Amino acid sequence: MAPQAYVQPIVASTSVFKTDLFNGKVLFCTGGGSGICKGMTEAMMRHGANATIVGRKLDRLQQSAKELSAKTGRECLPAQADVRNPASLKEAVAKTIEKFGRIDFVICGAAGNFLAPISGVSENAFKTVMEIDTIGTYNTIKATIAHVRAAKGAYIHVSATLHYSGTPYQVHVSAAKAGVDALSAVLAVEEGPHGVRSNVIAPGPIAGTEGMDRLSPKTHDERFNSAYPVGRMGDVKDIENATVFLFSDAAAYITGQVLPVDGGTEHLRHQFLPYPQAVLEPEKVKHMIKGKL
């Protein structure tokens, strides 16, 4: 029988980190009404934080806030805002301060994506993704920085790994996320002396998310899963765990960094041999290789 690849477990943050880590702290999360950022918010709330979630669709935000509070016993404020509009973000920040009195942590996660080649993506569509992802991140930083400084808090920006190489059909997001990574680095350097940290989480493909469903119909394909050094696609919990760690005091010396949470796929961009067969069953690929295995 062919050897099987080891599959890393999916673990809950509460099985690793203390549940009172963020008692008394407040999170402000753009994109927190759905998907990965909703999971990141839930994890922060499970460890004691109250949270504001920001997005354009008020119905969904209200529903998500209710669910998050019911699951965690913490307070969640749904705040409608478009990250492209600085005034609406400032209003969401003001509501947060009115309700919770502080902002310790910010997740810049709001984003848009779709598949289109350079020749097919319209100038307007390209601009929209830049406006949501990159300028939206800048607007979020501007609206929150005074409060995060006062709290000696931290930022996490949700980026991606696809711009580390030329990913076809992703020119708009690649450009936008490269901008997000750059913003975070400058924020870390400028605000470090004021007590603020800033890092990027770069998720690989995360199963069961809206973003992934839009981009790939193969989400649950077993062959696709096996093409990961850790034996499976990413889960929202993997991003949650990285979030709790990076916001915790255990990451006090980590700032200005990009943390790919992608099961190691960043290092698999150039595969000349079938993967993972090439490492599990080297005999089968021997005929493809001139050197000695």
What is the rounded radius of gyration, in angstroms, for the C-alpha atoms of the chain?
20
Name the DSSP letter for residue 10: P
Q: Which of 112, 229, 231, 274 binds ligand NAP (CB under 6 A)?
A: 112
Q: Is 43 in the site for ligand NAP (CB under 6 A)?
A: no
Mark 176-205 with x for binding to ligand NAP (rule: CB under 6 A) and - for no binding.
Answer: ---------------------------x-x
Q: Which of 43, 79, 129, 206 binds ligand NAP (CB under 6 A)?
A: 206
Handedness of CA 24, 198, 244, 51 (dihedral sign): positive
Q: Which of 82, 191, 235, 240 binds ligand NAP (CB under 6 A)?
A: 82
Q: Is 37 in the site for ligand NAP (CB under 6 A)?
A: yes
Residue 261 one-letter amino acid: V
Query: What is the dihedral angle through the alpha carbons of 51, 147, 188, 190, rounded to the nearest 10 degrees?
Result: 170
**Candidate segments 10-18, 49-57, 119-127, 250-258, binder of ligand NAP by CB under 6 A:** 49-57
Name the DSSP letter for residue 206: B
105-108 and 154-158 as β-strands: parallel, antiparallel, unpaired?
A: parallel
In whole angstroms, how close is the CB of 140 to ligand NAP at the nearest point?
9
Q: Is 226 a catalytic residue?
A: no
Q: Is 122 a catalytic residue?
A: no
Taking CA atoms, 259 is separated from 156, 183, 199, 241, 272, in Å, by: 10, 15, 8, 12, 26
Choose among 144, 108, 114: nearest CA to 29: 108
Q: Is 160 in the site for ligand NAP (CB under 6 A)?
A: yes
- Catalytic hit among 34, 88, 174, 177: 177
Task: Give contact residues for ligand NAP (rule: CB under 6 A).
Answer: 30-31, 33-37, 54-57, 60, 82-84, 109-113, 132, 136, 158, 160, 203, 205-206, 209-212
Residues recognised as catalytic: 159, 177
